[in-house]
Structure 1
Amino acid sequence: MQHYDLVIIGGGPIGLACGLEAQIAGLSYVILEKGCLVNSLYNYPANMTFFSTSDRLEIGDVPFVSNNAKPTRSEALEYYRRVAIHRKLHIKLFEGVEQIDKSDEKEDIIYTIKTTKSEYQAQHIIIATGFYDIPYLMNVPGEDLPKVTHYYEEPHFYALQNVVVVGANNSAVDAALETWRKGASVTMVIRQDEIGNRVKYWAKPDIENRIKEGSIKAYFNSEVASIRPHEIDIQTPEGIVTIENDYVIAMTGYQPNLDFLRKIGITLSNDEILKPTYNDDTQETNLPNIYLAGVICGGMNTHSLFIENSRIHATKILQKITGKVIHNANY
């Protein structure tokens, strides 16, 4: 069994930032990631553009140079890959964490981390698992059909097809606009009475104009009622509408794996947010020496934290672990 000062669960941008700070502090550490490097970013739409500027996505004082004011998904993947390789971060990919057990050895707290491949021991653990793993389901008949996806990749596949896009925020708007521009017949199903107010400022007028002119059909205040191989039923204010359909892109949002936190003993708030218990100054949870970093800190409020405002978590945690004011990466 391998022993480390620190085990970091999650190999996204914030997990990498924690690894960089551990490296600077001289701690032995390992980053465990259940998928590929920055797995969540890899699963973003192929043509996605970030809302943040590149400097707000930097970690470890490593410059992020983009060709445009707003970097793309491919540029972000290249940046974080280069950071991991150039800084020789100790990362084990495609190795999911299944269990964490605590044992007291004399006066020290030691945790055993069991993964799909191995076991590790560490005095400290950082959980930086993000929120992109578990989609919100529509819970309607036919949602399990092969034509339904909760992850949108790229638009060419949907050319000349009847596509329904569910949702009204950034991912849904991107999917609707891109598939329409590649020749799909696009219908949007939106629970609210308008496009989401968090949609990127350059995309919001675009989708609103396409809806207004009738290029993209939109049913507001509506929900998917049922999905069949060649049709879909939409519950609208005027009643059920049935339309021909080849594919459903359900951009209904995602949620963090809070069950994992519960399983290891981290307490959550009793309201609908289910915010994990942690100290705002140190990021330490109710479990000694176990810390949270990144979006997971927000519980179900997944829009409160993102890369640019949670990079500081790495510095705060390592200062708590080492008891020193350490390198601050200008976050």
Structure 2
Amino acid sequence: MSNTKELEVLIIGAGPIGIACALECKKRNWNYVVIEKGALTNSLFNYPLNMTFFSTSEKLEIDDIPFISNNPKPSRTEALEYYRRVVTSNDLNINLYETVSGISKSISEFTVKTDKGMYGTKHVIIATGFYDIPNYLNVKGENLPKVMHYYKEAHPFTLQNVAVVGASNSAVDCALEIYRKGGNVTMIVRDDAIGERVKYWVRPDIINRIEEGSIKAYFNSEITEIRKHEITITTPEGPKTLQNDYVIALTGYRPNFEFLANAGITFSKDEKHIPTYNAETMESNVEGLYLAGVICGGMETHKWFIENSRIHAKLIAEHIEKKVS
């Protein structure tokens, strides 16, 4: 097609790893573009306002560009500023608020269609993360307006009966913040304890709040139905009905497997659903189509994060470089 834009590399996702891939392309003077359906670093932008990272700032750096933080553990605001500065100071070629609708491949080139145009490219890098699709509860009433799968800040929940579902970092941060802003918090936890991966400086806090009764917690329990003013849960002692104004279900998220499958990528046959790729080059089972970042872990969304997947950008660029040289 005459209006198709021709590229060497097209990167899908403008999170930290997508940005790292763009930097590698720019170093090599490749004709590239990053396509992002939301804001720059859209997942980080959608994190809770007061979130603090588990990692220290130097472990969140990309391409050895210094990340200076006021505290040992940087905040969401500091991370947004850092990645924004990396993009603007390096004049990276990023198209925001553009959604990829399909990837198809001929013998030697990919065609990538978006809601704003068409691209022809020899190589595609998918670095889309996993934050867009929640793991749903799949219970009656989950579609009510009072139910949410993302948490931003505590103020709207002051003086409200709030059920927080889950026991990961996000659920614990949410429960503590709402409790301290005057909400009546009940945690519904499928397992028998607060998650071991919860930030080590936060875990004692939530355990102490539960033990003293400031936050109610039902372990080995699940929500079975959500109604306008109450919820029903199963517990080891039997079913219980609780007064409830809001349900915040922070039960994790999953990659867009359908998008990957439609691009021709295959997966492991077990429940982990790990996409097929070469760990040395990050190339998937589709030649010329690469995976980068947390998406490589399939349902194991805790396996890859910024700290240990920054290297993916260099591995991919080095492999493409060998091909084109």
Please give the alpha-carbon distance, in whole angstroms, between the structure 1 residues aligned to 2:301 and 2:155: 30
Provide runs of 4+ in structure 1 moved above 4 Å.
none
Task: Find 1:100's aligned residue among 103, 112, 118.
Answer: 103
Please give the alpha-carbon distance, in whole angstroms, between the structure 1 residues aligned to 2:221 and 2:114: 42
Q: Which residue of 2 aligns with 1:167?
A: 166
Shift of 1:323: 1.5
Shift of 1:96: 1.2
Deviation per CA, 1:48-68, whole angstroms, max 9, x where unpaired?
A: 000000000011221100000
Please give the alpha-carbon distance, in whole angstroms, between the structure 2 residues aligned to 1:129 and 1:242: 39
Q: Which residue of 2 aligns with 1:19?
A: 22
Please give the alpha-carbon distance, in whole angstroms, between the structure 2 residues aligned to 1:18 and 1:199: 30
Helix, strand or coil at the partner of 1:75: helix
Name the amino acid aligned to 1:76.
A
Please give the alpha-carbon distance, in whole angstroms, between the structure 1 residues aligned to 2:39 and 2:232: 37
Task: Find 1:58's aligned residue among 50, 57, 61.
Answer: 61
Please give the alpha-carbon distance, in whole angstroms, between the structure 2 residues aligned to 1:194 and 1:268: 32
Please give the alpha-carbon distance, in whole angstroms, between the structure 2 residues aligned to 1:185 and 1:299: 35
Please give the alpha-carbon distance, in whole angstroms, between the structure 2 residues aligned to 1:286 and 1:163: 45
Name the amino acid aligned to 1:235.
T
Name the amino acid aligned to 2:259.
F
Q: Which residue of 1 aligns with 2:240?
A: 241
Q: Which residue of 1 aligns with 2:39?
A: 36
Q: Which residue of 2 aligns with 1:115?
A: 114
Q: Which residue of 1 aligns with 2:194?
A: 195
Q: Which residue of 1 aligns with 2:313?
A: 314
Shift of 1:211: 0.2
Name the amino acid aligned to 2:297.
G
Deviation per CA, 1:232-258, whole angstroms, max 9, x where unpaired?
A: 111111111111111111001000011
Q: Which residue of 2 aligns with 1:327?
A: none
Deviation per CA, 1:110-141, whole angstroms, max 9, x where unpaired?
A: 11100111111100000001010100000111
Please give the alpha-carbon distance, in whole angstroms, between the structure 1 residues aligned to 2:175 and 2:259: 33
Q: Which residue of 2 aligns with 1:7?
A: 10
The share of aligned pairs that are identical, in percent, is 62
Q: Which residue of 2 aligns with 1:282?
A: 281
Q: Which residue of 2 aligns with 1:139?
A: 138
Shift of 1:103: 1.6
Aligned-residue RMSD, C-alpha: 1.0
Helix, strand or coil at the partner of 2:47: coil
Instruction: Give the TM-score normalised by structure 1.
Output: 0.96
Please give the alpha-carbon distance, in whole angstroms, between the structure 1 residues aligned to 2:64 and 2:117: 32
Helix, strand or coil at the partner of 1:195: coil
Helix, strand or coil at the partner of 1:179: helix
Q: Which residue of 2 aligns with 1:210?
A: 209
Helix, strand or coil at the partner of 2:106: strand
Please give the alpha-carbon distance, in whole angstroms, between the structure 2 residues aligned to 1:266 and 1:206: 43
Check if 1:219 corresponds to 2:218: yes
Q: Which residue of 1 aligns with 2:299?
A: 300
Helix, strand or coil at the partner of 1:323: helix
Gaps of 5+ in 1: 325-331
Check if 1:73 corresponds to 2:73: no
Helix, strand or coil at the partner of 1:301: coil
Please give the alpha-carbon distance, in whole angstroms, between the structure 1 residues aligned to 2:242 and 2:270: 38
Q: Which residue of 2 aligns with 1:273?
A: 272
Check if 1:261 corresponds to 2:260: yes
Name the amino acid aligned to 1:170.
N
Alignment length, in residue pairs? 321
Helix, strand or coil at the partner of 1:315: helix
Shift of 1:26: 1.3
Please give the alpha-carbon distance, in whole angstroms, between the structure 1 residues aligned to 2:244 and 2:276: 44
Q: Which residue of 1 aligns with 2:156?
A: 157
Please give the alpha-carbon distance, in whole angstroms, between the structure 2 residues aligned to 1:181 and 1:10: 35
Please give the alpha-carbon distance, in whole angstroms, between the structure 2 residues aligned to 1:36 and 1:168: 28
Q: Which residue of 2 aligns with 1:185?
A: 184
